[in-house]
Amino acid sequence: MEIAILADTHVPSREPRIPDWVRERIRTADHTIHAGDFDSAAALATVRDVAAELTAVSGNIDPGLDLPQVATVTLGGVTFVVTHGTGSPAGFEERVRATVRDHAGSSAVGICGHTHRVLDTVVDGVRLLNPGSATGADPAAQATMLIVRVREGQFTVSVERGEV
């Protein structure tokens, strides 16, 4: 199973649209996870239109999109807890780790956004993944997303980078 993970699209306030290469990766994935800050109903609709299946949460600039703050989904035997991670950079990873543990325990994988920086780390036994910004929205230096390949409870993570 292939999972496209993205966040911080910020369309249209910071970027005019989701790049074609990102939409194509979403289209070919079995499941898509968006960790918030769509920025508009139109950006959410774009992702929904191309994704085979979508798990999405609200970011700090997504009021009115009727998305949860936290979502939990199990794919290919791996449980993912998705949260935007809103708040100060100080203690960010620890806050996301606490959210993961509160919702699914330490065996789950945390998916977050907010910082616009790619992250793949382990904090107190919890794996955390952040895809950066799929549109390269400031302060990101480049458009990025993650592709996670899951099989029988095991997974690999790769970073995809592209043009805006």
Peptide bond connecting 12 to the previous residue in cis, omega within 30 degrees of 0: yes
Per-residue model confidence (pLDDT) at position 29: 98
| pLDDT tens per residue across span 104-119 | 988 899 999 999 999 9
Domains of the chain listed by start with CATH number: 2-162 (3.60.21.10)
Q: Would the pLDDT of 164 be above 80?
A: no
By C-alpha distance, which of 102, 110, 57, 52 is closest to 79? 110
The pTM is what? 0.96
| pLDDT tens per residue across span 5-44 | 999 999 999 999 999 999 999 999 999 999 999 999 999 9
72-107 in b/e form (b: 16+ CB < 10 A) is ebebbebbbbbbbbbeeeeebbebbbbbbbebbeee
